[in-house]
Structure 1
């Protein structure tokens, strides 16, 4: 409680700074667990689907993808359901699906980007208004005889800047980490799509050779 009371000495601008901190922490926690779950599950899912295809269990692979869900599962499902298309057309379709999924991965990150910019500015605003109030002491007749009131006011005004910078720095670290996670998931979708298309082509080529041999 004493810590909150100390921070509130930074002035009215501390309330929007508190709101920025709450939004930042909420978004970072939600995105961290959501993206981590997608990335961890996607790697295993890709291997499971390839294993099912190698055993000729197409239906099992599709059922697994339907149960798991998520952007990587949708990319793999698209590849399997439209496997009869030629490679160029299938690649274009998968790229379209991946582009549709990417904005969902970045949900909320625009808030973090905004907070990184606005938090230091709010802190600076609080400091400027606090400094104005502090130096108004000088304007009154007792101002010069009360230096502690001036220095105390300046110290309290700097609380807003320190808080704004702390929020921006913390948010920047989280934003960069989450952006990297999104990039890794997109790369995982691309890897899964490429591998599954290669597996389907290999499977088709193998079946064609078997039919040719049987015909001979």
Structure 2
């Protein structure tokens, strides 16, 4: 397998390394976003929101805020903390939640749109590698002996096709990852918005005296 990859890159010529840089950037973005959305920025919304709302309805607003703070950097936890803190200070809960949702959305969706651009760039880089390989081959054919022309043409076509295949492979990977990550990020944002509404309703229904005394 490794030998086949080495042959693939060698036959593709020097422009394959430009494509390799593009693929490295794409893989780095994809891995970072999957890790972030799957682990670093993610919490199990159902039990988490349920516990916060339960505490709020029981008048334990301070306890709910502490529980949300324990979730770390998760955007959902940050949004709920903002609403709970605003309630504790007697400020506008709805406004605080709306502002927190707006702040959280870019954290969830950042760098995902760049995958679409990387897909286009990879396709064009593959095409450039294809064109340069063919240009170099046809230039060399004019000065080559008849017995060498077939070999040189074969090598040139191999270089061109390898660049095309590599560029398209990177592009397809970026597009698939973009679709998956976009779907995941939209679901997270919708989950955050729904959870913020649940908290707002719970805080509105919570007894004001109990909330302040929690």
TM range (shorter): 0.7 to 0.9
> What displacement does 1:96 show?
1.6
Residue 150 of structure 2, aligned match among 137, 140, 147: 147
1:33-182 equivalence runs, <5 A: 33-37=35-39, 38-69=41-72, 70-83=74-87, 84-85=90-91, 89-143=92-146, 146-182=149-185
Q: CA RMSD in A?
A: 2.2
Aligned mates of 2:15, 2:110 — CA distance in 1: 27
Aligned mates of 2:35, 2:45 — CA distance in 1: 14
TM-score, normalised on structure 1? 0.85
How many residue pairs get aligned? The number is 204
Q: Which has the larger radius of gyration?
A: 1
Aligned mates of 1:143, 1:47 — CA distance in 2: 79
* Native 8 Å contact 1:32 1:178 kept in 2: yes
Please name the residue that 1:22 is paired with.
Answer: 24
Please name the residue that 1:13 is paired with.
Answer: 15
> What displacement does 1:185 show?
1.2
Describe the SS at the equivalent of 2:13. Answer: coil
Aligned mates of 1:12, 1:22 — CA distance in 2: 16
Deviates more, 1:108-117 or 1:55-64: 108-117
Describe the SS at the equivalent of 1:148. Answer: helix
Aligned mates of 1:66, 1:39 — CA distance in 2: 14
| Uncovered stretches (5+) of structure 1, i.e. residues with no partner | 208-216
Q: After the TM superposition, which parts of structure 1 deviate over 4 Å for at least 4 consecutive aligned residues? A: none
Aligned mates of 1:143, 1:91 — CA distance in 2: 80
| Uncovered stretches (5+) of structure 2, i.e. residues with no partner | none
